[in-house]
Structure 1
């Protein structure tokens, strides 16, 4: 899909245009926390309880999911400090499993994974912003979609014009969502001290018989709430002192996330019975209505801010993956260009906005996410499996941060276990997801492997690239070596 040699502005000759190292430990930790803590912990912790049937086992699942996610994040930390180029698992797959695997990863991310998840988050945030204004009637779906579209456009605009502003926005929304969770945790602790412990008695006894096949589905729900940690390795080129910042920020972020998740669930069970949690589509609001009464709307704003923060962090990381894929010749050259003044990969962010907005009108966005979960975990597992491969093939590589080899092996086995179980438990969804992934193979051969394209096509791409360069004031960035 790489276009021909486009004409770039003379500005690139005047001074180097490249991504700038601007992100320190606190903003980077906030990016991870802000991306991981989206809507999951506020809206659907009942997913684990639905499959475990007991309070005690559900808490065990939350702990294990936090530990497994930390292993994955640390594995990505080693890869992120080993490779100096931005792009995250696209680069890691490119270097280990080859260009086709890397292309399919970025293909599924651009087409469905990210746009669908952002559409869901935008709709969720818009719903929770509007709902308090309509206490006695149903919220207009058109109003929700319009506000969701506005939220998306603003977040994408900020990502296009300023990395520091994007980082500060991540910090702000991280503070908002952590403040909301702290309120939930403190309220739960107070009530727990006052003797509200009924739901913790006989914690491992439930009304329904536990089925081992459902244990994997409980893990799946938990891992969904922790998803997003992999973005840490996507912005390596913009991190100050990445050999220290990435591992330190990863440990800080995952420790905070896991601790807050566990304490929030304890608070939920202190106030809500298992039956009430299973009956609720928004556990945090159900909690707030019982504890805070008329002030529960504050938690509604917190949920909305949490979702917006997750979108913001996702756009930041995904645009860098597109940028890296373009720089490696797997996407049009325009996507590897950087704004002259803002020093942001504007085209690689803008490309994802139209499809995300289009998905707002779909009633099947959640189904799209289910379809892609299979390939998501497959690629995540393949990425961490590359660590033992790189250790054996390139033992002399400089690795500023190095994990114990058991860390990526355990995580890879767990990820592949999730993939295998999803094939068994949801073959139709996995089949559709696999079909969407395979659809990228002919595009790979036509766009990437086919180098002798017709002159008219090359000229057309050159003219289109030049037009977009003038429109967005972008030039080709300097390519950094490992």
Structure 2
């Protein structure tokens, strides 16, 4: 099926943003609201905002809570640090590959857009289907739950946080992030910068005292650093998988390419600087953990940063949950900001309702795309088994990222004349593509039941594509209902198609 062009819908009965004969908006129809410039998404993502988007989204709760997964599967301090470093380098390879795609395909949408360009609408729709149906609402709910748990923890220590209260606070957190991204691109970006600095400050609070202990001569935990404890060699792929998951998020700037200032320079530079910052921070914070905690203490801890602070800083450990909650809030904000642009781009291609490609007439935000998954996320938060859902879908991310990188290699041969301002050596995407498919195979081997269920859910996107996209002879009553609903929501939300 060819791509569906976006047509500016008539909303004559609503009184919003009609065009005059010159094609401009008639502000008199906007409830006396002056529309002083074009209604479109503005290029407001600078280099600093790009770095904060990537860095602030990658660094979530995991590095503060449970970096023990890699230690558990490697069995040694030295090997775990090597895995952290190797995963950072390999993630940089993936990020560089996405930097090439982001500079030669200057469209927002990330994975979806690149799969669409390389392999066509069916593959792109299946990726979008899985994102909408399960991955994004579950991922948002999980990071939001971590926010709710840790922001309340200082009030209830040492007791458990009541589950209902935690979910209520979590829903408030989700709502505030959705509202922020709906109202202002600039403010969501500024808050993302602030939260990113908070995350880096939190890591420095751990790194500096830890390295100080190391320089004082507290090196006993590094003696026999490569002495294998109990984990077999087969644990190394699982450790590698955990490490790559911790670095996931380097692709989020590619979701908002159209809003990046000077993307040909900003995208590669922001990606490279972000990955250096994250990799160095991750390795150093693990060195700091090992300088204070033994391997046995790390494996026994459910929150390594809190164990570190309690052992070295005493009462100051109460600040750790606050920093973790701020870190989670930054990941929520960055994820919603970026992924809403995937829905925005997919709507322009006719793969989602046209309403999602519309922009608020005054705020210039993709408001419908931002709030699109809000009801499903809240529903999943209160009634869904979101952790199981994430287990089902954990392999899907790497499967489709591998397909995206394979698309980069394919486009090198299919469209050699394409303008590529930033071009990486071919071995970089080839190695990363192989690593992605290796992780997919590892998922199938280690957890065939859950992975098989996730694969089955993914395949439901194929009939969905033919029912919702290809089939264009739907009953008139359905078409009238969707048109009426779209027009009503457009009036309520005060959105129009961008000029």
TM-score, reference length from structure 2: 0.93
CA distance in 2, matches of 1:264, 1:363: 34
5+ long unaligned stretches in structure 1: none
Q: 1:305 to 1:29 in 2, by over 3 A?
A: same
SS, match of residue 382 in structure 2: coil
Are the equivalent residues in 2 in contact too, given 1:4–1:461 (CA < 8 A)? no
> 1:130 matched to which residue of 2?
152
Map 1:319-334 → 2, pairs under 5 A:
319-334=340-355
- For residues 445 and 299 of structure 1, the distance between their equivalents in structure 2, rounded to whole angstroms, comes to 49
- Equivalent residue for 2:414, pick from 390, 393, 400: 393
The number of residues matched between the two structures is: 477
**CA offsets per residue over residues 212-256 of structure 1, 9 Å max, x none?**
2x2111111111111111112110110000000000001110000
C-alpha distance in structure 1 between counterparts of 2:60 and 2:262, whole Å: 28
Contact 2:195 2:326 in 1 (8 A): yes
Q: Which among 68, 80, 85 is matched to residue 58 of structure 1?
A: 80
Picking from 419, 423, 445, the partner of 2:440 is 419
CA distance in 2, matches of 1:103, 1:477: 23
Residue in 2 that maps onto 1:384: 405
For the structure 1 residues 140 and 90, does the alpha-carbon distance in structure 2 shift closer, same or farther, using more than 3 Å as the test? same
Matched, 1:404 2:425: yes
Residue 449 (structure 2) pairs with residue 442 (structure 1): no
Q: Tell whether the 8 Å contact from 1:4 to 1:462 is kept in structure 2 after alignment.
A: no
Structure 1 partner of 2:30: none
How big is each residue's C-alpha offset from its partner over 1:54-100, in whole Å with a ceiling of 9 and x where there is no partner? Answer: 11111111011101111111111111111122111111101111111
- Rounded to whole Å, the distance in 2 between the matches of 1:211 and 1:84 is 43
Distance in 2 (alpha carbons) for counterparts of 1:295 and 1:5? 56
Instruction: Name the TM-score, length of structure 1 as normaliser.
Output: 0.96
Q: Does 1:429 align with 2:429?
A: no
| Paired residues of 2:7 and 2:497 also in contact (CA < 8 A) | no
Q: Deviations over 1:284-326 (max 9, x none)?
A: 1111111111111111111111010001000011100000001
Comparing 274-283 with 151-160, greater Cα deviation is found at 274-283
SS of 2:484 mapped into structure 1: helix
Report the equivalent of 1:17.
39
Name the stretch that deviates more: 181-190 or 356-365.
Answer: 356-365
Q: Distance in 2 between matches of 1:365 and 1:456?
A: 35
Report the aligned-residue RMSD: 1.6
In 1, the alpha carbon distance for the partners of 2:293 and 2:316 equals: 18
In the alignment, structure 2 segments of 5+ residues that lack a partner are 26-36
Question: What SS does the aligned partner of 1:129 have?
Answer: helix
User: How far has the Cα of 1:456 moved from its partner?
Assistant: 1.7
Partner of 1:229, secondary structure, is: coil
- Counting only pairs closer than 5 Å after superposition, residues 141-156 of structure 1 correspond to structure 2 as 141-156=163-178
Q: Could you list the runs of 4 or more consecutive aligned residues of structure 1 that deviate by over 3 angstroms after TM superposition?
A: 1-6, 8-13
SS of equivalent to 1:361: helix
Q: 1:7–1:462: 8 Å Cα contact kept in structure 2?
A: no
Task: Check if 1:223 corresponds to 2:244.
Answer: yes
- Equivalent pair of 2:402/2:437 in contact (CA under 8 Å): yes
Distance 1:276 1:162, change over 3 A: same
Describe the SS at the equivalent of 2:161.
coil
